[in-house]
Amino acid sequence: MPSNATLLFEPEHQSWLRTQALEQYAFFKKGLMPDGRFAVLDYDGTPLTSDLQELHTTTRMVHSYALGRPLGAGGAAEVIDRGMSYLWTHHRDTDHGGYLWGITSDGIGDDRKLAYGHAFVLLAASSAKIAGHPDADRLLDDVWQVLVERYWEEDHGLFADEFNRDWSPMSTYRGMNANMHSVEALLTAYEATRERDFLDRAGRILDFFVYQTAPQHGWRLPEHYTETWQVDPDYDGNPMFRPGGTTPGHSFELSRLMLQYWDLLGRPDGDHVAVARRLLDQALNDAWHAELGGFVYTLNFDGSWRRADRYWWPVTEAIGTLAGFQKLAPSTEDDAWYRKLWDHAKAHLIDPENGGWFPELDETNQPTGHQFEGKPDIYHSVQAAVLPLSTRLSRIAEDLS
């Protein structure tokens, strides 16, 4: 039995995590609009005026509230229902198949077909199925067919990235981010269905990034690739979704997903835990801002800081990953990091007055909006509270009631 000296396992902390999760569910439910879409919220919870509903917003709300339902989150069933309906009736492209990135009140606002977005549709459908939603199988089957037929590149064991609405090529870009979130979705789909194909494809993606690529780059993860899956070191695109260099926050995520994959495999002998640990430790050591706290957003390939902006989501992902390792083998080092991250979050990121987390901090640790307007979504921050509540590395929804 883990020692109560470890913060993660202290009853008071577990109670606080549950309260923190429920407060977030209450705050973000304010984004549910009468027309069924989900608005991004200002700091005080007021819906912002943007009319564009992006696919990752819809899907992340479904997934997050599916996790919240066994915790007793108020209104979770309604959020899941609305999100599932909006995905099927608005984002789904009935003319060409697949799912559209952006919808407005007038129709299509952004008609790109992104693997990143489709991965989140699979995640939403799978989480909704685990939560018992009656339309989950319909959505899961539909998006899985699209992912296999349009995006999966069998020769590489990876997903391509982007197409125009009619499935004509948009670019030759290939990226880690869409594939990392595909692993997340595939593992959840396996948990929902027990269909081995989902687990096997997740393993192929992990093999490329964790076993083939990371060791060649100092256990950092290059984000951007050419059409033949060669690292593209000069690429620098969208400052949020495709920044140049490496992103330590994604190392935290992929480390946690590696533990989940290993657990779902039945915890076989091998080095799964060791390589997940290498990813975590490298990112912790590279990216922690010793003076201000938090993690810098991107690194150069030698580990030096590239963009020192500090966002909320790498902190939340590191918390979830550290919780996973402590569930396996509590240590004073991991406990110290876990405490440090929660101390930083409580001091600067969690909004005690209105709810939710501030997404970005300036050089004085005050909330700022260079990259984001308002509080973008619940997905990252609520998982920082929910994942440590479960005693498991996988199938956590079964452990939350």
Taking only the tens place, the pLDDT of each residue in 27-80 is 999 999 998 899 999 999 999 988 999 999 999 999 999 999 999 999 999 999
Determine whether 98 is exposed, middle or buried from the number of CB atoms within 10 Å of its CB (0-12, 13-18, 19+): buried
Phi-psi region of 39 (alpha: psi -120 to 50; beta: other; left: phi over 0): beta
Q: What is the SS3 assignment for 213?
A: helix
pLDDT of residue 102: 98
Going along the chain from its start, the domains and CATH numbers come out as: 7-393 (1.50.10.10)
pLDDT of residue 2: 46
Taking only the tens place, the pLDDT of each residue in 7-25 is 999 999 999 999 999 999 9
> Sorting pLDDT into bands at 50, 70 and 90, what band is 4?
low
Question: Given 250, 272, 344, 348, which residue is catalytic?
Answer: 250
Nearest to 137 by CA among 185, 196, 192: 192
pLDDT of residue 115: 98
Taking only the tens place, the pLDDT of each residue in 333-372 is 999 999 999 999 999 999 999 999 999 999 999 999 889 9
pLDDT of residue 1: 36
Taking only the tens place, the pLDDT of each residue in 81-111 is 999 999 999 999 999 999 999 999 999 999 9
Q: How many CA atoms lie within 13 A of 79 on its CB side?
A: 31
> Sorting pLDDT into bands at 50, 70 and 90, what band is 282?
very high
Question: Given 90, 224, 344, 380, which residue is catalytic?
Answer: 380
> Phi and psi at residue 348, in whole multiples of 5°?
-130, -25
Q: Is 380 a catalytic residue?
A: yes
Q: In the structure encoding, which two tokens stand for residue 363, read together? A: 């050089």
Q: Is 181 a catalytic residue?
A: no
pLDDT of residue 312: 98
213 and 158 in contact (C-beta within 8 Å)?
A: no
247 and 192 in contact (C-beta within 8 Å)?
A: no
